[in-house]
Amino acid sequence: MKKTQNFNFKQFLEYFPEVDLPVTLTEDSSLDFSRLNTPFAGEIIANYIIPIEAETDEFTEYLPCFKIKNTTNFHAVVYWKAGLLNYEYKMVTFSKNGELIDGKVIAATITNQETIVRTVSTIDEDWIIHTVVGQQEVDTTSLNKKSKSYTLELLGTGEIIFSLNEDKI
């Protein structure tokens, strides 16, 4: 997609409704976002999403999810990325003038021929992101013992820090 300047950063942010926390992101949350939110214009994707994505192709879809309220020094948005057998919720932070600060995948469903890895996250009122990752064999319905919990935190600077909890679920 050719980069154009018909949309500005403020218009990009308007795609993301502000939400009250806590918010939980599951495999099915994208259905609600697709029903409630306006899809991105192609130029918005070209100008604001593609430049921060490591891998994308013409089949990848993007959907605005929400914006974190009450961020004074930055903007924090979450969008959904749908690729082939890979679905991610990504939190991205920007300075007030639209410069990228940070970005992390905070929830996802990744599938290959043998396993399905699901990550579910809850963002609480203190901007702590509680995450549980579980792996399931494709031919079973139970999670194996490789499930883990993680914690991320959205800082007042817009940085998203990551720490591993060694607790198995």
According to the model, what pLDDT value does residue 2 have? 44
Q: Both tokens of residue 128?
A: 């702590």
- Every domain of the chain and the residues it spans: 9-168
Give the C-alpha separation, 130 to 109, whole Å: 16
Q: What angle do CA 14, 15, 19 make, to 5 degrees?
A: 85
- Arithmetic mean of pLDDT, 77-82: 96
Dihedral of alpha carbons 87, 107, 143, 162, sign: positive
Quick one: pLDDT band at residue 135, thresholds 50, 70, 90?
confident
Quick one: pLDDT band at residue 148, thresholds 50, 70, 90?
confident
Quick one: pLDDT band at residue 12, thresholds 50, 70, 90?
very high
